[in-house]
């Protein structure tokens, strides 16, 4: 991999995702045992968009308790997210279930290979890529002794954000799935409002010197930050060498592999973004994992379900 020198920053989002997806402390999950929605291994049957239970918020999702539970959930959820027939009102629940299922794999890494083997052929690539991305990002930080001094806000609607990504792609040549994947990993699509220990700011996490070179407008504005990220990635080697550009953005091979995995899935099916958009902010402390809901700290942090 070619290394492109450039101004650097440490990502708030990387801290939170590491706390969320890495290791046994940092996971939860979803749904139930094998159901009628799960196709036999190796088949490509039509997905069902009907969940086994109704959930109204992320903390209503029941963690999966076995390899079979995770395989059934991911078969149903990954197909439903990618199905144009899935009603938009089902997408928040599906995104929450998807996130919890991959957090369950992070909590039980020994489940990953059996789950990948069990799911049908059409679901295997996204399951393997998402599991890899979560495992890679999950190594980037450790649980912290206290909850962060962040605000958690609802992001702009998905169509608005996709418009920003596409605008940045048109201006910089950086394919929009990379920008969306960075936005996901750094701040959960802009949900996290706070400054990292290195002074990185905004939804795409720029240190002041990098923002001064590449930013225009407000570092805390999603559109302005996404456009700046496109400019920085282009100056760092993209789109011709996205590995180098991503390494310049965050100098970690694991980070590069994670972003490449998420971006590859969105490039394969743009509908995949609909699940990621609903992923929430979970934060691992030394005392356990907490959900930081939209509205935090006005809304209290919630204990994540045990695995």
Distance between CA atoms of 46 and 80, rounded to whole angstroms?
9
- Taking only the tens place, the pLDDT of each residue in 124-167 is 999 999 999 999 998 887 899 999 999 999 999 999 999 999 99
Return the CATH architecture of domain 12-16+149-276. Orthogonal Bundle (1.10)
For the chain, give the number of residues. Answer: 307
Three-state SS string over 103-147 comes to: HHHHHCHHHHHHHHHHCCCCCHHHHHHHHHHHHHHCCCCCCECCC
Query: Which portions of the chain are predicted below pLDDT 70?
Result: 1-55, 307
DSSP-derived secondary structure letter, 60: G
Q: What percentage of the chain exceeds 70 in pLDDT?
A: 81
Q: Exposed (0-12), middle (13-18) or buried (19+): which is 166, by Cβ within 10 Å?
A: middle
- Residue 219's SS3 state is coil
What pLDDT score does 142 carry?
86
Distance between CA atoms of 73 and 94, rounded to whole angstroms?
10
Domain definitions of the chain by residue range: 12-16+149-276, 18-145+280-303
Pairing of strands 192-193, 281-285: unpaired
């Amino acid at each position: 991999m070619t290394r492109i020198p450039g101004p650097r920053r440490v990502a708030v989002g990387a801290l939170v995702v590491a706390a969320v997806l890495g290791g046994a402390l940092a996971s939860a999950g979803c749904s139930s045992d094998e159901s009628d929605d799960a196709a036999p291994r190796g088949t490509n049957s039509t997905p069902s968009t009907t969940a086994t239970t109704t959930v109204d918020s992320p903390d209503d999702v029941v963690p999966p308790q076995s390899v079979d539970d995770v395989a059934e959930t991911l078969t149903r959820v990954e197909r439903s997210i990618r199905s144009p027939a899935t009603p938009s009102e089902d997408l928040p629940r599906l995104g929450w279930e998807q996130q919890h299922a991959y957090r369950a794999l992070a909590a039980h890494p020994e489940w990953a290979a059996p789950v990948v083997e069990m799911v049908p052929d059409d679901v295997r690539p996204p399951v393997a890529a998402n599991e890899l991305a979560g495992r890679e990002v999950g190594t980037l930080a450790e649980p912290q002794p206290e909850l962060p001094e962040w605000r958690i806000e609802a992001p702009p609607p998905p169509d608005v954000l996709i418009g920003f990504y596409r605008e940045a792609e048109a201006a910089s040549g950086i394919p929009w799935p990379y920008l969306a994947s960075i936005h996901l990993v750094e701040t959960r699509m802009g949900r996290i409002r706070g400054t990292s220990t290195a002074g990185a700011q905004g939804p795409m996490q720029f240190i002041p010197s990098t923002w001064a070179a590449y930013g225009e407008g407000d570092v805390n504005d999603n559109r302005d930050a996404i456009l700046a990220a496109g400019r920085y990635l282009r100056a760092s080697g993209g789109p011709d060498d996205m590995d180098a550009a991503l390494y310049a953005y965050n100098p970690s091979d694991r980070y590069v592999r994670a972003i490449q995995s998420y971006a590859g899935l969105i490039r394969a099916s743009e509908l995949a973004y609909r699940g990621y958009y609903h992923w929430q902010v979970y934060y691992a402390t030394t005392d356990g994992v907490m959900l930081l809901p939209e509205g935090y700290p006005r809304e209290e942090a919630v204990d994540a379900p045990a695995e």
